[in-house]
Amino acid sequence: MPALEKTDIAWKDVESYQSKNMIEYILREIDTDQAGAERLFHELKKFLYICHKYHQKDPEKKFAPSKIVDEAWHCFVLFTPEYSCFCRKVLQRPFIIGHVPTIGQWASRNGTALYQDTLEHLKMEFGSYDPEYWPTPERNGAVKSCSSCHGCNGGSGDCTAPN
């Protein structure tokens, strides 16, 4: 597996990434309106940005999304070529940010502690976080199905990020 090169990606570059496909799919799969779908995709990009940024500093660093951001992440992963392009072209990674469920070897992870750490990093990076998309751990409930991001999964081939 290729080593992750250290890259200083500016949030503005991640924030400016747009995907009509993702917004349409979020609208179809998640109970929200157009503005809500756009905000949710924005929050997902924040999550993926901190996953990337802090994994470069510490390859063992993991984060956990809120339940609603996790649903959006599932939507993005289903658009595998677009998700791969986002990770490789926008985040300038040699591979995608992996996403695994909390089962098997990952079952022992404390999803609530990872989630609390995610909230702290969102606040540190962005000054605050939107409680509609990032509720308190008590309101978010136990993070059971998908508790963390991983920076170690592969991806290859050429791609063109969509407009």
Q: Which residues contact 64 (CB under 8 A, 6 or more apart)?
A: 111, 114, 115, 117, 118, 143, 146, 147, 148, 149
Task: For the chain, give every domain's residue range.
Answer: 18-150
Q: Looking at residues 151-155, what average pLDDT do you find?
A: 39
Q: What is the pLDDT at residue 5?
A: 53
Q: Tens digit of pLDDT for each residue in 106-132? A: 455 567 888 899 999 999 999 999 999
Query: Tens digits of per-residue pLDDT, 12-56?
Result: 999 999 999 999 999 999 999 999 999 999 999 999 999 999 988
> 154: pLDDT confidence band, cut at 50, 70 and 90?
very low
- Amino acid at position 21, single letter: N
- Confidence band, pLDDT 50/70/90 cuts, at residue 102: low
